[in-house]
Amino acid sequence: MSAASGVAAVSYLDPAAPALFADSLRRTGFGVIRDHPIPQALVEEIYAEWLAFFDSDAKHAYASGAGSHDGFFSPSVSEIAKGNSKRDLKEFFHIFPWGRYPAELSDAARRYYDLASALAGELLSWVEANTPPDVRDRFSMPLARMIEGSPDTLLRVLRYPPLTGEEEPGAVRAAAHEDINLLTVLPASNERGLQLLTKKGEWADVPSDFGSLVINVGDMLQEASGGYYTSTTHRVVNPAGEGARRSRVSIPLFLQPRADVVLSARYTAGAYLDERLREIRGR
């Protein structure tokens, strides 16, 4: 049994959705949206074709080189979450508007990038409209404008391979971490496992009905809002039983302001990102 997450699942069509969504983000760091405009068929097309891509050798031609942020990251170069010692049990491909993209695949993930970025702009406007004026006054520009045309917004296509039993003890699909960006938009995965850490310090399953969108606050929104919104720790746990034999695919879009956007008196988005990337790479 997992603890109650407190996350509200809101219908995009509900006139009260903007307020309910912002309230859920404020209380839990997460919000879930149903009946949203992103076609589920597109999400499923991406899951299917990228799973086949990860199962093929073609991915190695896109290996991310030293210092590059786009392309394929194999399990052996996968992330080590801040403060953790084991590599996550995952492989992934980073898609940027300017970066590499598998010639073997359709443009479905690129179309998703554009659709999800546009929806994210709307969600940021919902957040802004429901933020108290004294907090809103801190924003150097409307939140939605911070990500407009940003080359740094990242679509990560993740594949968590089936578990073999040979994993390093203690290694998990994704160790507890916070996201660096403003907001993350994530269609519910084909498999369970995503959990958040509640303010009481308990792990709770994030409501992830297939077809819904999960949105969470990242460190940059926490920074820009002076802590009014908090970047909530989350993780992906290893499945037991049958689920262990299946791959899990997920496609978080990390909404990243343009590098020159002022987040706070201390940081531009570019300076903030550089500092955080130094903490998770190369250890």
CA proximity to 119, closest of 139, 144, 85:
144
CB closer to ligand AKG, 158 vs 204: 158
Residue pointed to by tokens 């160790």: 175
Give me 76's structure tokens. 């052996």
Note whether 181 binds ligand AKG by CB under 6 A.
no
Note whether 219 binds Fe ion by CB under 5 A.
no
**Number of helical H runs and strand E runs in the chain:** 7, 13
Note whether 119 binds ligand AKG by CB under 6 A.
no
Report d(CA 234, CA 206) in Å as an integer.
Answer: 9
Partner from ligand AKG, Fe ion, none binding residue 250, C-beta < 5-8 Å depending on class: ligand AKG
Q: Which one of residues 194, 253, 255, 263 is an interface residue with ligand AKG (CB under 6 A)?
A: 194
Residue 12 neighbours by CB under 8 Å, 6+ apart? 33, 34, 35, 36, 37
Note whether 183 binds ligand AKG by CB under 6 A.
no
Q: Where are the beta strands (DSSP E) in the chain?
A: 9-11, 30-34, 71-73, 91-95, 154-160, 174-177, 183-187, 194-197, 203-205, 213-217, 234-236, 248-250, 253-255
Stretch that binds ligand AKG, among 44-52, 107-115, 161-169, 186-194 (CB under 6 A): 186-194
Note whether 124 binds ligand AKG by CB under 6 A.
no
Note whether 88 binds Fe ion by CB under 5 A.
no
CB closer to ligand AKG, 117 vs 232: 232
Tell the smallest beta-carbon distance from residue 143 to ligand AKG (Å). Answer: 20
Tell the smallest beta-carbon distance from residue 38 to Fe ion (Å). Answer: 19
Is 45 strand, coil or helix? helix
Residue 152 neighbours by CB under 8 Å, 6+ apart? 96, 256, 257, 258, 259, 269, 273
End-to-end C-alpha distance for the chain, whole angstroms: 34
Tell the smallest beta-carbon distance from residue 166 to ligand AKG (Å). Answer: 22
When CB distances to ligand AKG are compared, the closest residue is: 250
**Cα Rg of the chain, angstroms:** 18
Q: Which one of residues 204, 252, 256, 273 is an interface residue with ligand AKG (CB under 6 A)?
A: 252
Note whether 156 binds ligand AKG by CB under 6 A.
yes
Report d(CA 144, CA 178) in Å as an integer.
Answer: 21
Note whether 189 binds ligand AKG by CB under 6 A.
yes
Partner from ligand AKG, Fe ion, none binding residue 189, C-beta < 5-8 Å depending on class: ligand AKG
Query: Count of residues binding Fe ion (CB under 5 A)?
Result: 1
What does the binding site for ligand AKG look like in residue numbers (CB under 6 A)?
Answer: 156, 158, 174, 179, 186, 189, 194, 234, 236, 250, 252
What does the binding site for Fe ion look like in residue numbers (CB under 5 A)?
Answer: 179
